[in-house]
A and B are shown apart, each in its own frame.
Chain A
Amino acid sequence: MTQGKTGTELAEPPKKPVTVSINGNAYRADEGECLLTVAERVKIPIPHFCFEQSLEPYGACRLCMVGVVHHGKTVMETACTLRAKEGLTVLTDTPDIVKYRTILFELYLAEAPKSAVVKEMAARYGVTKTRFLRRVDTGDPLGGACILCGLCVRVCNEIMGAGAINFINRGPYTVVNTPFTEPSRDCYGCGACAAVCPTHAVSLEDRGGERILHSWSETKVPLSQCVSCGKYFAPAALEKSVLSRIEPPLRDDLEGLCPACRAKKLAKKEILAATGGDPGDA
């Protein structure tokens, strides 16, 4: 734990290769690598909902619990928060894990009865029924498919920096939505929330010149129209935010163009440069 005084000045040290054991087989991994990533790479299935490579491990869905064998004792830990180190020995299907995972899947089936993803994943682990009372909420903007893994909240806050949605209430009353369930002024309309949602619960649609985020209090964001072809192609606020991070010559080239027209324009420019200004057969 103690670092040398020059520790912070050094470049990131090369990753040390280590051997970890999963279900009795040895695998190579980098020291400190997330065990869930290692298992995914070597195609050992460990169920999970709340894990995403680009975000810090969150440890909330509890499905990725594995048994860590240490001095003959097996302790359960979440694979997403486990770090690879030499000699790490884990088991993914101990009787305890199977027992608890079954109950967790049943809880998810009751919490998000409308989610096909949850049903499919649970079925893969032999759970097709739940003994718990199913949640019924006909007005749920997430269509009865949200399992509160928090990925949408984290991606909106930590990666997009928008902070348009967050958790509301606590305990079993927790929901995700915009503040005061009013249309958000902070939302870029980027749709990252929908992209990361493991249960495809987030509903949004592009209608005319607007993107409507049905799940987030019907937040509406204007879309930019391509100056060349007239197609709506991206949320205006997102376009502005992205363009602000690009250097002027390129920015001026790209501004107002949809991806297809952008490609055309850039290609044309390259060809013009290569052929010395003669468009030729291009």
Chain B
Amino acid sequence: MTGVFDRAAGEVAGQKKILPGKPRIAVGLATCGIAVGGEKVYERLQEIIKKTGVDISLAKTGCIGYCREEPLVNITIPGKPLVILHKVTEEDAEGIVEAVKKGTVPYKKALCRVPSWDHVTGTVITYGNGFDEIPLYADIPFFKHQKKVILRNAGFINPEDIDEYLAVGGYAAAEQALTRMDSETIISEVEKSGLRGRGGAGFPTGMKWRITRDAPGAAKYIICNADEGDPGAYMNRNEMESDPHMLIEGMIIGAYAIGAKEGLIYIRAEYPLAIRRLVHAIGEARALGLLGKDIIGAGFDFDIRIATGAGAFVCGESTALVASIEGRTGRPHPRPPRLTDPGGGLWGIPSDLNNVETWCNIPVIIRNGSGWYAKIGAEKNAGTKVFSLVGKVDRVGLVEVPLGTSLNTIVCDIGNGGAQGKKVKAVQTGGPSGGCIPVRLFDTPVNYESLNAVGSIMGSGGIVVMDEDTDMVDIARYFINFATGESCGKCVPCREGLRHTLILLNRLIARKGTAKDLETLALLADTIKNTSLCGLGQSAPNPVLTTLAYFREEYDALVKP
């Protein structure tokens, strides 16, 4: 049987776009780039190119993750390395076009050069040599400690053009899986890879697939959790905005292995650009026969729909998420039944729910093999993880490192410590469900177990840095205030307990608290953690419990003697 899908044709077309045989200027246009004026830079460049009639290809890309240096612009001149310009403004546009016309780049704006780029799934794009005065990508401290697997294409390809994804090895894994592998082989590859859920809990992905596949009933659903709601976390947003096809490809492979005909992406409505790019990408994939009937001519039917959330943090919890998709109020129910159980999933059908980044790991595992993947990272913590490094850190950005990398490497080597030379005091990992880890524990390797051992969690990957000026009690109050507002109100420890935690913290900060209040605070936090119905309540007191454990002196200082 021959399908309409022709990977080779798309690959050739895409390569002609990435290396067009003439200069290409690509502006980083994820939400972050747009926010700092990237779109204006793009429009100005477009205007100048049109006016001067110069033969330059202008494109959009996603984001390479160096938030502090945005807007970022890539310049490719045939035979020369790709050059990344940083902090580009509208005023720079004229100079950029002038330089490119002369076959060069504005050196003053150059951040680094990339002679060739390994897109990991078998494709290396070779740009060229020259511009030796510009530092190499690998010498930039922000980049040199990173390992790009999930973000391999982010900032290099146009997320709104499926050809460019095909040019860097895209959909080769899906083709391989659907035409040359069966369900069992795929699931066992994912199991052997050691991939664990990137939503925070770290459940083995392959095992979850197996449970769903083997659950009674022929119908199954797969769901992607894109309800990224932690304050300061934007890994999933960038993954979807910069490389939406990677997610779709992961879901196609998962659906085939699990035996699902339908997939849903539950995405928060606050991510309009990610939604737009996903809708566009799903349309492109359908047009190429990668979604719909008889995918890749392999006789397998599968399609993806998008469901948007209405802005509730608790809807990231699996049972609340399903309730929300079904049109009910997003309130969790006790598990079991789990989503994978009959009667427990979407519309009562056994469903597999994975986070965006978990799905994004699938194509590379299939393409490069479980053995290759398992070697990245640490014992029982295979692979890389994307973190959003934010807060009072010098180099703010999206960071991808192998699991097991120490907090020190992330915060000090990659992030260059505190902003404006201030001393770093702690980091908060895992968002409002996580805890604050003091600087003396920065040799803690970032993996699921070690973070739990110090009272925090991996979560989806937010790392918020606090410096010497940060008031830790106020930080605890910030997160408790967030969790109080996001509690669904179903169970009493979360609904009432968090409210009283907030009242107690406010009283302490107003210097009206007593030693007795401090005692009550600790006991209440412990109660909420141990008696709440769902993960939101069970983890919400973590910021209080960890600041009490590591920064007790700041609480004591607020209490009247």
Binding site for B on A (CB under 8 A): 1-3, 57-62, 65, 76, 78, 81, 96, 99-100, 103-104, 107-108, 110-111, 131-133, 147-148, 150, 166-167, 169-174
Contact = CB atoms under 8 A, between A and B. Distances in A.
| B-side interface mostly | helix
A147 B491 CA distance: 10
B493 A107 contact: yes
Interface in B232-276: none
A174 B490 CA distance: 9
A2 B215 CA distance: 7
A212 B493 CA distance: 34
Contact of A62 (B333, B489, B503, B531): B531
B490 A60 contact: yes
B485 interface: yes
B492 A172 contact: no
B500 interface: yes
B319 to A, nearest CB: 11
B499 interface: yes
A174 B486 CA distance: 11
Contacts of A58: 333-334
A58 B492 CA distance: 13
Contacts of A167: 329, 489
A103 B487 contact: no
Nearest to B519: A131
Contact of B216 (A3, A99, A104, A111): A3
Contact of B484 (A61, A131, A148, A171): A171
B531 A2 contact: no
Nearest to A3: B216
Contact of A76 (B341, B495, B520, B530): B530
Nearest to B491: A60
Contacts of B532: 62
B531 A100 contact: yes
Contacts of B492: 60-62, 104, 107-108, 111, 147-148
Interface in B13-32: none
B496 A100 contact: no
B498 interface: yes
B312 interface: yes
A103 B527 contact: yes
Contacts of B533: 59-60, 62
Interface string B261-302: 000000000000000000000000000000000000000000
Given A60-B533, A62-B492, A103 B341 contact: no
Given A62-B533, A76-B531, A167-B329, A132 B491 contact: no
B530 A172 contact: no
Given A107-B496, A171-B498, 19 more contacts: A59-B333, A60-B490, A60-B533, A61-B492, A62-B491, A62-B492, A99-B523, A103-B523, A103-B524, A103-B527, A104-B492, A111-B496, A148-B490, A150-B490, A169-B489, A170-B312, A170-B487, A171-B484, A174-B489
A171 B530 contact: no
16 contacts: A1-B215, A59-B333, A62-B532, A99-B527, A100-B530, A100-B531, A103-B527, A104-B493, A107-B497, A132-B496, A148-B492, A150-B490, A169-B489, A170-B312, A171-B495, A172-B499
Contacts of B90: none
Contacts of A147: 492
B503 to A, nearest CB: 6
Contact of A110 (B485, B490, B500): B500
B556 interface: no
Contacts of B490: 60, 148, 150
A148 B495 contact: yes
B343 to A, nearest CB: 11
B493 A148 contact: no
Nearest to B493: A62
Interface residues of B, number: 34
Nearest to A83: B336
**Among A1, A81, A172: residue with most chain B CB under 10 A:** A172
B214 interface: yes
A104 B531 contact: yes
Contacts of B215: 1
Nearest to B533: A59
Contacts of B495: 148, 171-172, 174
Contacts of B463: none
Q: Which 3 A-B pairs have the closest CB atoms?
A: A174-B489, A59-B334, A171-B487
Contact of A173 (B489, B516, B520, B530): B489
Given A111-B492, A171-B488, A133 B503 contact: yes
Given A65-B531, A100-B530, A103-B524, A171 B334 contact: no
Q: Which of B215, B516, B530 has the most CB of A within 10 A?
A: B530
Interface string B527-541: 100111100000000
B259 to A, nearest CB: 15
Nearest to B314: A170
Contacts of A65: 531
Contacts of A148: 489-490, 492, 495
Interface in B208-223: 214-216
Contacts of A3: 216
Given A2-B214, A103-B524, A172 B484 contact: yes
Question: Chain A CB within 10 Å — which of B341, B485, B496 has the most?
Answer: B496
Contacts of A99: 523, 527
Nearest to A49: B492
B491 A170 contact: no
A5 to B, nearest CB: 9
A38 B341 CA distance: 25
Contacts of A166: 329
Interface in B341-375: 341
Nearest to B335: A81
A61 to B, nearest CB: 6
Nearest to A63: B492
Contacts of B497: 103, 107
A173 B524 CA distance: 20
Nearest to B503: A133
B398 to A, nearest CB: 31
Contacts of A150: 490
Nearest to B494: A171
B215 to A, nearest CB: 7
A67 to B, nearest CB: 11
A60 to B, nearest CB: 5
A169 B490 CA distance: 11
B334 A81 contact: yes
A137 B341 CA distance: 43
Given A78-B334, A107-B500, A172-B499, A61 B491 contact: yes
Of A60, A133, A166, A171, the most chain B CB neighbours within 10 A belong to A171
A174 B500 CA distance: 15
A60 B499 CA distance: 17
B527 A171 contact: no
Contact of B500 (A57, A132, A170, A171): A132
A22 B497 CA distance: 29
A128 B498 CA distance: 22
Interface in B476-520: 484-493, 495-500, 503, 516, 520
